[in-house]
Structure 1
């Protein structure tokens, strides 16, 4: 491993790649301290960073990788710190976490990862005194990389907080829980929903037509540069996230409410089917993005900024409630979720989900459908919510999902006839092209 020092960039005075590493360390620190979403933090910090597209992509890759393998990284660093991480050390931990992500999991020369981390430690007044410690630690980590990776591979739950590992084992069994944990280590696939001719778009985009009708892209190209994007022929949407609308089975002209609608993938599905859609969300900025997406797609919906827990209207033929949740089913795409959400968050959100379900029920016309869904793997936010709802609302009953509604993927249906997808399901050509988000959905009929 070389310790060659990189020459400063003539434009900025920085070594090449240093600004990207600075941003990655700051993002890691802010996400963990404030427990704010990684995407939200990047969206806030990137504009002021001055990074070009390549450096912005590098900063994002480092941060995402750090959270995807945070358990492995933390254990590897802790085991090599005789006295533990120094206290009151500023950005010491996030800088080393970002560097470890590069050394262990990214295609970055060891000397670049180490040298640029040391520069960052020098820059931070509270970390500067620990520069020698950081240098020795990262160099040792690079020497012992294969040992770290071998030990991590033998422990599927190393990158999962204990409460989540226990929850998944209790809900789905140890074998499935291990498979879920391992699937979260893989880069997620990118799926799209198309307005029409899914097979044709799969061929045009070098994609895979999934049994559910979604198209999975093999490549990693810029989405906005792909054929059909600017023409509004398709939109990005995880294959599992597209299933709840299939349970609605929207018909042309039906009045359908999409509650908690942003970012709008399900709204687009409903509108593309010809339904008269009311898209409601309490966040005006998120609805602005929803409207922009609908405009690109040439689709229309009535857009309402309101709290779904208190909003009222005339009864609808169908109501879709994609309730706020812990989002643990999206950890593969948003690995920070595993480290920013807690059991307390899950339980607090459970009370909100119950209120939203009660409000949604009041909007369903007699004989109408209510589909409740969450992108959570936690039964407290899915199965348990529906059981409690049915006790409170005897005028509703389940309408079980049939396998042919979801591409004959019977593994995605639980014993009650509800949709329950798990991240390790849906095998594909490669690990990256396999799996989908963890989703729960129940279809309920008002008698």
Structure 2
């Protein structure tokens, strides 16, 4: 007789093993078919369990520590972590303990530790949600926490960690009328014009999905396009365009848009979303550095980056990465800025942005670009809803997860508008 919930739990355990042990990202695993054999409800449950475990991993480890003389093998530790998450969210102890003991027992290398798993999880069950709530907010892994503290200070990073732990609401960008979308979906219009929905939602079942009235886009990610103001009639290049939210924004604003990205799979998704919302843009699958068509009025460069600003939506990131790619990414961003400037007509504008919390991928890049390119200037930013604390010394905007905490936070982002000499 199949134990209820075991397939989803085993899948969540597999995801956790791949992320924490092999450095794989959740989206990469799912796209590769890691959950393909599960029915839809189990796929959703497995992803939710793995995400919850990653979001609370540091707290789970603190809860387990008193009951472990030494850390068990990863297979066992990840089963225990998942068990803690379920037990402390109020799931029935009997089913949770049995499921994760079975996961430990099924592995020949760890089956001798099923007694340990059983004993530890029953002790955790005795503490339950009260014990969980008594532990501090989970800390970011040290490889990332240290540079964040150096950049923003310990107090700010603690606030960011609270935002990461809380997760993210669902934000929508309206094709035409944000208030109409908010009324239809039960959301609220934020000060910058995005529509925010609280609670869990099945996106494809929300009003307006089939009719293409909106698309999913974090409120912070929707701001860079707004920096260009009225784009109607302008030729705009969206460089490194996938997943395409900004392409849709530009097209909805009446721009003549060309979207360029190297990933054929991700660009297929951009084309699908354009079709769903009834908008037009030319899509080109190409390496950004190989693309040499010039004369654009504006270029939007959402450059590849560490993505450290998206942890509240992607809690796998700090466990799948270790910061070793930072140097190469920073160098690539510098070269992309230089290349993007060659694609602008004289007097054209470049919006540079990254979903990073690291100044080296934001403020420092703009400061260095101004040094490399005499005559390049930072354009003033006049956008609805921008808070004074977001503005930076060099003229850009710095957004952080701990901003708008009363509204549910936002992704970490940096953005600035650079104007090419006429």
TM-score relative to the length of structure 1: 0.90
Query: What is aligned with 1:11?
Result: none
- Paired with 1:128 and 1:287, the residues of 2 have a C-alpha distance of 45
Q: 2:319 aligns with which of 326, 339, 361?
A: 339
Instruction: State the 1:281 CA deviation.
Output: 0.3
Instruction: State the 1:107 CA deviation.
Output: 3.8
Q: Does 1:421 align with 2:399?
A: yes
Query: What is aligned with 1:225?
Result: 205
Deviations along 1:10-62, whole A, 9 cap, x unmatched? Answer: xxxx211000001000010011222121122133335532x222222211111
Matches within 5 A, 1:394-413: 394-402=374-382, 405-413=383-391
Instruction: State the 1:337 CA deviation.
Output: 0.9
* Contact 2:25–2:316 (CA under 8 A) maintained in structure 1: yes
Change (3 A) 1:110 1:406: farther
Change (3 A) 1:350 1:252: same
Query: What is aligned with 2:87?
Result: 103
Q: Does 1:441 align with 2:421?
A: no
Deviations along 1:137-190, whole A, 9 cap, x unmatched? Answer: 11112223467535532xx4x431123222222222222111111111102110
Change (3 A) 1:73 1:45: farther
Q: 2:111 aligns with which of 113, 128, 133?
A: 128
Q: 1:25 aligns with which of 1, 10, 13?
A: 13
**Any stretches of 5+ residues in structure 1 without a counterpart?**
1-7, 9-13
SS of the residue corresponding to residue 309 of structure 1 reads: coil
Deviations along 1:363-391, whole A, 9 cap, x unmatched? Answer: 11111100110000011111111111111
Q: 1:385 aligns with which of 346, 353, 365?
A: 365
Query: What is aligned with 2:100?
Result: 117
Query: What is aligned with 2:195?
Result: 215
Matches within 5 A, 1:239-258: 239-258=219-238
Query: What is aligned with 1:3?
Result: none
- Paired with 1:145 and 1:243, the residues of 2 have a C-alpha distance of 41
- Paired with 1:293 and 1:216, the residues of 2 have a C-alpha distance of 20
Change (3 A) 1:37 1:83: closer
Q: 2:67 aligns with which of 63, 80, 88?
A: 80
- Paired with 1:129 and 1:142, the residues of 2 have a C-alpha distance of 22
- Paired with 1:107 and 1:150, the residues of 2 have a C-alpha distance of 12
Q: 1:193 aligns with which of 173, 181, 194?
A: 173
Query: What is aligned with 2:25?
Result: 37
* Contact 2:63–2:124 (CA under 8 A) maintained in structure 1: yes
- Paired with 2:4 and 2:240, the residues of 1 have a C-alpha distance of 43
Query: What is aligned with 1:65?
Result: 52
SS of the residue corresponding to residue 30 of structure 1 reads: helix
* Contact 2:188–2:195 (CA under 8 A) maintained in structure 1: yes
Deviations along 1:263-282, whole A, 9 cap, x unmatched? Answer: 10000000001101010000
Deviations along 1:62-102, whole A, 9 cap, x unmatched? Answer: 1001110111222333442113314xxx7222222221221
SS of the residue corresponding to residue 305 of structure 2 reads: coil
- Size of the aligned set, in residue pairs, is 421
SS of the residue corresponding to residue 344 of structure 1 reads: coil
Change (3 A) 1:30 1:129: same
Q: 2:77 aligns with which of 78, 93, 117?
A: 93
Q: 1:327 aligns with which of 297, 301, 307?
A: 307
**Any stretches of 5+ residues in structure 2 without a counterpart?**
none
Q: Which moved more, 1:161-170 or 1:14-23?
A: 161-170
* Contact 1:63–1:98 (CA under 8 A) maintained in structure 2: yes
Instruction: State the 1:255 CA deviation.
Output: 0.7
* Contact 1:206–1:218 (CA under 8 A) maintained in structure 2: no
- Paired with 2:125 and 2:195, the residues of 1 have a C-alpha distance of 39
Matches within 5 A, 1:130-149: 130-145=113-128, 148-149=131-132
Q: 1:275 aligns with which of 255, 268, 271?
A: 255
Change (3 A) 1:39 1:108: farther
RMSD between superposed Cα atoms in Å: 1.7
SS of the residue corresponding to residue 343 of structure 1 reads: coil
TM-score relative to the length of structure 2: 0.95
